[in-house]
Amino acid sequence: MSLYNQIKNARSKGDKVLAILLDPDKVKHDELPGLIERINQSRASIILVGGSEVASGITETVIKIIKDYSPLPIVIFPGDLNQITPMANAILFLSLVSGRNPEYLIGKHVQAVPLLEDSGLEVISTAYILIENGRETSVERRSGTKPMSRSNPDKIVRTAKAAEYLGFKMVYLEAGSGAKHPVSANLIEQVRSKVNLPLIVGGGIKSIQEVELAFKAGADIVVVGTAVEEDELILNSL
Ligand code: 1GP
């Protein structure tokens, strides 16, 4: 079964999915086997791999190591084209719909096609919505776009709904890596009440309480990255 169908099945049963994000630029290769072992033993069922700036070839090397140690699906969460590798199972094909930079809405995607065709990767179109979190994020810097204001939830909900009408398969509410304030439960609830797509929430989530809060508000998938980078023991409690 495709990963997307597994995600939809989980959603229809009310099963929540924890995804751990590994930044190939930050993980230490010799420590990866131990970290992966810990992820295998946690409740996480997806490993996302990606970062805003990763040197060419590193993503592939890291995914090869992960594959040696984990049966979990590996999903590319690309900051750029050079992170696309057929070694993974799937890719979140992100369109930054919170911004108005054509390169990040459709431009890079056109360039990605030759890398995706015949790659065997499952391509999951995902509307990527960057939300203001209290500090500047690397997505903002790199894409040259502004995040959406937390004080205008209606516009965020309409953006997510427009993405559903446009035929995107998932919506990702992103506060940004290391965000000061994760996406609020209230905002997740508002989006959830209008949008019937699998909902991913990430950015600045650092504890089991915050994970559960996001799930309870309506997130189907919660992504934790920085907190695991800072202390992998947190995996025991997630
Ligand atoms: C970032 O949403 C992901 O793109 C995860 O964020 O690193 O803050 O967990 P953190």
Q: How confident is the model at residue 52 (pLDDT cuts 50, 70, 90)?
A: confident
Index of the ligand 1 atom closest to the CA of residue 206 = 9
Flag whether 73 is in a domain.
yes
- pLDDT score for 18: 98
pLDDT single digits (tens) 53-66: 898 999 999 999 99
The pLDDT tens digits for 82-124 are 999 999 999 999 999 999 999 999 999 999 999 999 999 999 9
What CATH number is given to the structural domain containing 124? 3.20.20.390
- Residue 20 class from Cβ within 10 Å (0-12 exposed, 13-18 middle, 19+ buried)? buried
| 138 domain residue, yes or no | yes
Which pLDDT does position 175 carry in this prediction?
97
Q: Domain span at residue 107? A: 16-237
Two structure tokens written together for 198? 């699998």
Res 230 pLDDT > 90: yes
Cα separation, 123 vs 128, whole angstroms: 14
Cβ(97) to ligand 1 under 6 A? Answer: no
9 found inside a domain: no
> What is the 177 CA–ligand 1 centroid distance (Å)?
4
Q: Is the pTM of this model over 0.85?
A: yes
Pocket lining: 226 vs ligand 1, CB cutoff 6 Å = yes
Domain membership of residue 116 (yes or no) is: yes
Question: Does 196 fall in a domain?
Answer: yes
In this structure, what DSSP letter does residue 5 have? H
176 in a structural domain: yes
Q: Looking at the predicted structure, is the pLDDT value of residue 35 above 90? A: yes
> In terms of Cα–Cα distance, which of 133, 137, 129, 84 is closest to 111?
84
In this prediction, residue 53 carries a pLDDT of 86
Ligand 1 binding pocket mutation candidate from 26, 129, 224, 231 (most atoms within 8 A of CB):
224
pLDDT value at residue 39 = 98
Quick: pLDDT tens for 199-223: 999 999 999 999 999 999 999 999 9
Mutate to test the pocket of ligand 1, among 17, 21, 25 (most ligand atoms within 8 A of CB): 21
Ligand 1 centroid to Cα of residue 171, in Å, is: 15
Residues 6+ apart with CB under 8 A from 152: none
**What confidence score (pLDDT) does residue 95 get?**
98
Q: What does the alpha-carbon distance between residue 162 and residue 157 come to, in Å, rounded to a whole number?
A: 9
Q: Determine the 3-state secondary structure of 221 from DSSP.
A: strand
pLDDT tens for each residue of 143-193: 999 999 999 999 999 999 999 999 999 999 999 999 999 999 999 999 999
Q: Is residue 151 part of a domain?
A: yes
- Which residue in the block uniquely carries the two structure tokens 């995996």? 235
Domain count, the chain: 1
Please state the length of the chain: 238
Q: For residue 191, is it within any domain?
A: yes
Q: What is the mean pLDDT of residues 219-231?
A: 97
Out of 17, 177, 210, 238, mutate this one to test ligand 1's pocket (max ligand atoms within 8 Å of CB): namely 177
